[in-house]
Structure 1
């Protein structure tokens, strides 16, 4: 299989490099952030470390959308939610999308598959989530957090049908790449399980500008997590969405995952610390919106969204 990565950021590099190195497949990267493109070209690839150690240079193929003439079997999309629609339009205008192609994405938040569906056949969309921590410290310089083999991700067809042969091949390539794939039966429940996790760890670590290992040092973390999870689960239940994790399992995962990635700053904090807009509207904000749509008010999530936007606003005074 031939893969194309749209978005050479932290997770785009993680998937592309691991597919290239461990699965032995062809991978091309499509990027529109010029500093990233120029860094790859000037140094001859992307610098990759794991847990701050053994940094090495990995040669990759990287292109602007307008200069790419390849035709991958599968596109893998990792863009920020706020950038996705514009990026897809640019790629379509450049002629990158073909009728035979499949697409996979494991972006944070919710709302991206509806956008992707505007450009791809719904029977060729593979939804995903990734419990995989990665840092991008500067252009073309990434750090894969966690030991090799600790990666965990889930996949589910967008059409909620059984995976076809092509989807099974993608799954096998992800296995060979050591990305830890697992099948789920319902993409909404699968994705919302990750969203409600991020609504605790990503958002709270961002608000206090701390690593995940520092976050769980506070004795009240379980109570804070339970309050946010209970609201999210209540909203999902009213919307008819069944999460793949139980409430208790979600609370427990905050501790176990934070211990496994104790030196990791979540992606929301990485955006916040660099002065970029965060995806809080697509995480806590999405949960709050889902609740309102189903006559349930997620007061804590709504308050947290305001707090993050307040912190973003206050940066102008520093």
Structure 2
């Protein structure tokens, strides 16, 4: 079994490290990581185990090679660029997205007929180049045919992930699972980034009231989009978020916080920005999500040192 991991940052390198124990894996990552991994190995610590793993990686894929699966773990903002760069490898190959946000699978579907959706809510934090701490896990990894169904290809990949030691299950309603993760990210990720705090501090009544509005607006969008969520009402999800997901990740700083600290572009357009875009499509309001998007874009502009438009509809750019 041969698997390629494209756009391998903290998530992709950890997944590749685990998969390397049970199959042939090849990771495409930045040169500063490849040089270290090919020399002394990738260092993974935390709840997925403490070990140093060597697996083949570079800034591109070997010419003419074919893979049984391709996993994309890049930032959502890079999905199209990754697909364009590796489109010859994607054709006729099952491709799974293990990314944040809404819209990645639709982009990938332009390059392959077999799109698998993936949902992963696990904390990955850079320690240094080629070294990642796996800090928290709020739910099992879920994989299924996008937007719904289970196939031999998806079931086999679940089996491989499980054999590699990752807690993974099949999900027939993977679109709903991806939106479930988007609810979690939309509620916590940008507020952690804007305020510079860990997730656990967002349980304060003042920030929680903002989270309630974010989630209610997202549920209204899901209803219009025909997305089947695990929770029947916003209140039901908010109870799950408050009692389970928030405590499980209370010590975690969001990926947006880390992106802003590193002066990188965030994935806001694919998370709260997608809620705003789809709300506009259906003619329903999403004012709280829109404010959150604009605040994150303000912070991005500060990092750039120049003013750019606060456009919430750049997900396919």
Tell me the TM-score range normalised by the shorter chain: 0.7 to 0.9
Distance (Å, rounded) in 2 between the aligned partners of 1:9 and 1:316 = 22
1:179 matched to which residue of 2?
166
- In structure 2, stretches of 5+ residues that fail to align are 306-317
Which deviates further from its counterpart, 111-120 or 253-262?
253-262
1:109 and 2:89 correspond: no
1:118 and 2:124 correspond: no
Runs of 4+ in 1 over 4 A off after TM superposition: none
> Which of 20, 34, 37 is the aligned partner of 2:34?
37
1:131 matched to which residue of 2?
121
Task: Give a deviation string over 1:62-83, Cα, whole Å, max 9, x none.
Answer: 0222545532200111011121
Deviation for aligned residue 1:169: 0.9
2:311 matched to which residue of 1?
none
Deviation for aligned residue 1:250: 2.5
Q: How does 1:223-238 map onto structure 2 within 5 Å?
A: 223-238=209-224
Distance (Å, rounded) in 1 between the aligned partners of 2:83 and 2:221 = 30
> Which of 40, 43, 46 is the aligned partner of 1:47?
43
Deviation for aligned residue 1:2: 2.0
Deviation for aligned residue 1:191: 1.6
Distance (Å, rounded) in 2 between the aligned partners of 1:135 and 1:272 = 14
TM-score of the superposition, structure 1-length normalised? 0.87
Task: Give a deviation string over 1:135-173, Cα, whole Å, max 9, x none.
Answer: 1233211111137xx65122221253x422222111111
Distance (Å, rounded) in 1 between the aligned partners of 2:291 and 2:207 = 17
Distance (Å, rounded) in 1 between the aligned partners of 2:177 and 2:105 = 13
Distance (Å, rounded) in 1 between the aligned partners of 2:38 and 2:19 = 20
Distance (Å, rounded) in 2 between the aligned partners of 1:300 and 1:151 = 27
Distance (Å, rounded) in 1 between the aligned partners of 2:195 and 2:167 = 31
> Which of 103, 122, 143 is the aligned partner of 1:155?
143
Distance (Å, rounded) in 2 between the aligned partners of 1:277 and 1:250 = 29
Contact 2:124 2:134 in 1 (8 A): yes
Deviation for aligned residue 1:214: 3.3
Deviation for aligned residue 1:91: 1.6
Task: Give a deviation string over 1:261-281, Cα, whole Å, max 9, x none.
Answer: 233222222211100001111
CA 1:17/1:66 → structure 2, altered by over 3 Å: closer, same or farther? Answer: closer
- In structure 1, stretches of 5+ residues that fail to align are none
Number of aligned residue pairs: give it: 303
CA 1:206/1:135 → structure 2, altered by over 3 Å: closer, same or farther? Answer: same
SS at match of 2:20: helix
2:23 matched to which residue of 1?
25
SS at match of 2:166: coil
TM-score of the superposition, structure 2-length normalised? 0.87
Deviation for aligned residue 1:55: 4.8
Task: Give a deviation string over 1:63-119, Cα, whole Å, max 9, x none.
Answer: 222545532200111011121211221123xx43352x2111121011111111111
Distance (Å, rounded) in 1 between the aligned partners of 2:295 and 2:36 = 35
SS at match of 1:146: strand
Contact 1:205 1:212 in 2 (8 A): yes
Which deviates further from its counterpart, 273-282 or 12-21?
12-21
1:140 matched to which residue of 2?
130
> Which of 275, 287, 292 is the aligned partner of 2:275?
287
Deviation for aligned residue 1:221: 4.3
Contact 1:197 1:250 in 2 (8 A): no
2:192 matched to which residue of 1?
205
